């Protein structure tokens, strides 16, 4: 498998660096030509559907401010020449040709990748020294940026600051990245990028749900089910010893009841895959889907069904005794593992479900806006 890892093979990178230590890859992309520029990014940041931030300030003055998009384009003419950075999330979803860049990182399982965030910084532009909870590949796309990093640092953040900026930061290593160079950082390595001239850094970021995210999602998922998972029972109850106390045995049994509900059946695997197949900002609780059956999926595909693309949809699948259960934006399809694999290999995530005979444009638009992948026979 070829990957933009310089002299490192994928195995060497994963064994030595991934989640372990920073890694600088000079000329990861030879003659890198960015498919969009600062003006394109500013245009995106003016759009309603786009998540963007404008950070101003410098480390010397600790005068950080942050504004959130959508912006009026007049903002950009008032920014001046120095000390600002415009950051836009999910750019590959807004501009489909960038999916090809994401495909370069397919040595990481697709459900572990999140988005392409692009920052355009004026000279001196920076978001301050900070840490992230995610692995990130920082690809220098235009201009030069100095990156300083430290694996040991004091975690205190600046007070009364709208950004998470470390109070103190002593770099252990630093490099100037030129276009095509890439710096990989595992989570929790402090880093500070400062633009030496106007330019862009493209961050290919990973997705790592927290236990709390998963539990919240699982609770919502289970709440749609009629199966309560049994009730607490205590046929061996003894007289209460101390008023109000929940004793150790009661706590053990309650915990057991809860864990058994989580553990039972294959439901949890389906929950996990459905959860990861949704866009990270899809916060609406989603009920467990009714999987579309393998034979219906095959029949639809044989009848010329098309997969329409909605880049917010993420495709992922799990192995089941019958084959694969494929998830797309929280919807489920049963199919063969080979079909699941083929569908997931597409450059652009294909979209969802709903086998509609004669979908109207209105129905399609509504489904797509909901982040669904659309499998139709005549779209
Ligand atoms: C930036 O592009 O300036 C910030 C990216 C990061 O630090 O994660
Ligand atoms: Co960062």
pLDDT > 50? residue 375: no
Predicted confidence band of residue 346 (pLDDT cuts 50, 70, 90): low
Mean pLDDT calculated for residue range 242-271:
91
Q: Is 217 a domain residue?
A: no
Q: Is 28 a domain residue?
A: yes
Mean pLDDT calculated for residue range 330-341:
84
Residue pair 243/310 in contact (Cβ under 8 Å)? The answer is no
Tell me the H-state helices in 69-177: 74-77, 91-94, 99-103
Nearest CA to 137 among 116, 151, 123, 119?
116
Supply the CATH number for residue 311's domain: 3.40.366.30
> Residue 24 Cα, ligand 1 centroid: separation in angstroms?
15
- Helices 211-223 and 267-276: crossing angle, nearest 10°? 120
Residue 113 makes CB contacts below 8 A (sequence gap 6+) with 102, 105, 204, 205, 206, 207
pLDDT > 50? residue 350: no
Q: Is 357 a domain residue?
A: yes
Predicted confidence band of residue 334 (pLDDT cuts 50, 70, 90): confident
> Residue 215 Cα, ligand 1 centroid: separation in angstroms?
29
Predicted confidence band of residue 24 (pLDDT cuts 50, 70, 90): very high
Q: Single out the residue in 180, 206, 232 at which a domain terminates.
A: 206
Supply the CATH number for residue 176's domain: 2.60.120.650
Residue in 201, 204, 205 to alter for ligand 1 test, most ligand atoms within 8 A of Cβ: 201
Mean pLDDT calculated for residue range 34-56:
96
> Residue 70 Cα, ligand 1 centroid: separation in angstroms?
19
Q: 143 CB less than 6 Å from ligand 1?
A: no
Q: What is the pLDDT of residue 111?
A: 94
> Residue 87 Cα, ligand 1 centroid: separation in angstroms?
8
Same structural domain, 194 and 300: no
Q: Is 238 a domain residue?
A: no
Residue pair 141/188 in contact (Cβ under 8 Å)? The answer is no
Q: Is 281 a domain residue?
A: no
Q: Is 99 a domain residue?
A: yes
Measured CA to CA, the distance from residue 91 to residue 51 in angstroms comes to 9
Q: Which domain holds residue 308?
A: 294-375
Same structural domain, 302 and 198: no
* Residue that the structure tokens 């786009």 belong to: 50
Q: What is the pLDDT of residue 349?
A: 41
Residue 29 makes CB contacts below 8 A (sequence gap 6+) with 4, 139, 180, 182
Predicted confidence band of residue 96 (pLDDT cuts 50, 70, 90): confident
Q: Please state, for a pLDDT cut of 70, what percent of the chain lies above it.
A: 87
Mean of all residue pLDDT scores within the chain: 88
Q: What is the pLDDT of residue 301?
A: 62
Residue in 127, 149, 205, 206 to alter for ligand 1 test, most ligand atoms within 8 A of Cβ: 127
Q: Is 227 a domain residue?
A: no
Mean pLDDT calculated for residue range 38-48:
96
Q: Single out the residue in 159, 180, 206 at which a domain terminates.
A: 206
Same structural domain, 18 and 114: yes
Q: 127 CB less than 6 Å from ligand 1?
A: yes
Q: Is 289 a domain residue?
A: no
Mean pLDDT calculated for residue range 128-155:
98
Mean pLDDT calculated for residue range 55-61:
93
The number of folded domains in the chain is: 2
Atom of ligand 1 nearest to the CA of 117: 2
Predicted confidence band of residue 377 (pLDDT cuts 50, 70, 90): very low
Predicted confidence band of residue 132 (pLDDT cuts 50, 70, 90): very high
Residue 68, classed as helix, strand or coil, is strand
The DSSP 8-state label assigned to residue 123 in this structure reads: B
Same structural domain, 175 and 35: yes
Q: What is the pLDDT of residue 351?
A: 38
């Amino acid at each position: 498998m070829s990957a933009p890892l310089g002299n490192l093979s994928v195995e060497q990178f994963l064994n030595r660096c991934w989640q372990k230590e920073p890694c600088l890859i000079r000329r990861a992309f030879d003659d890198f030509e960015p498919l969009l520029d600062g003006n394109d990014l500013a245009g995106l940041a003016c759009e309603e559907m786009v998540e963007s931030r404008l950070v101003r300030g410098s480390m010397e003055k600790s005068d950080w401010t942050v504004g959130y998009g959508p912006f009026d384009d007049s903002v950009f003419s008032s920014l001046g020449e120095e000390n600002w950075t415009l950051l836009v999330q999910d750019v590959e979803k807004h501009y489909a040709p960038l999916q090809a860049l994401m495909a370069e990182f397919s040595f990481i399982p697709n459900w572990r990748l999140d988005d392409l965030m692009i920052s355009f910084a004026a000279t001196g532009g920076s978001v301050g020294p900070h840490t992230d909870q995610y692995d990130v590949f920082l690809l220098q796309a235009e201009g030069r940026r100095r990156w300083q990093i430290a694996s040991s640092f004091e975690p205190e953040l600046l007070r009364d600051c709208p950004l998470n900026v470390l109070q103190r930061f002593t770099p252990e290593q630093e490099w100037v990245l030129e276009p095509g160079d890439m710096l990989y950082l595992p989570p929790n390595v402090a880093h500070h990028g400062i633009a030496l001239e106007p330019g862009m850094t493209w961050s290919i970021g990973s997705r790592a749900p927290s236990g709390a995210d998963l539990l919240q999602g699982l609770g919502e998922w289970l709440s749609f089910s009629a199966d309560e998972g049994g009730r607490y029972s205590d046929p061996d109850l003894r007289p209460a010893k101390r008023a109000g106390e929940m004793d150790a045995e009661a706590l053990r049994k309650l915990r057991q009841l809860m864990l058994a509900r989580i553990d039972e059946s294959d439901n949890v695997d389906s929950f996990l895959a459905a959860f990861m197949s949704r866009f990270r900002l899809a916060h609406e609780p989603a009920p467990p889907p009714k999987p579309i059956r393998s034979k219906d999926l095959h029949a639809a595909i044989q009848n010329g069904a098309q997969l329409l693309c909605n880049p917010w949809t993420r495709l992922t699948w799990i192995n089941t005794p019958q084959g694969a259960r494929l998830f797309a934006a929280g919807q489920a399809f049963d199919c063969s593992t080979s079909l699941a694999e083929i569908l997931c290999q597409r450059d652009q995530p294909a979209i969802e479900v709903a086998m509609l005979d004669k979908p109207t444009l209105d129905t399609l638009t509504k489904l797509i806006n909901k982040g669904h992948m659309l499998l139709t026979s005549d779209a």
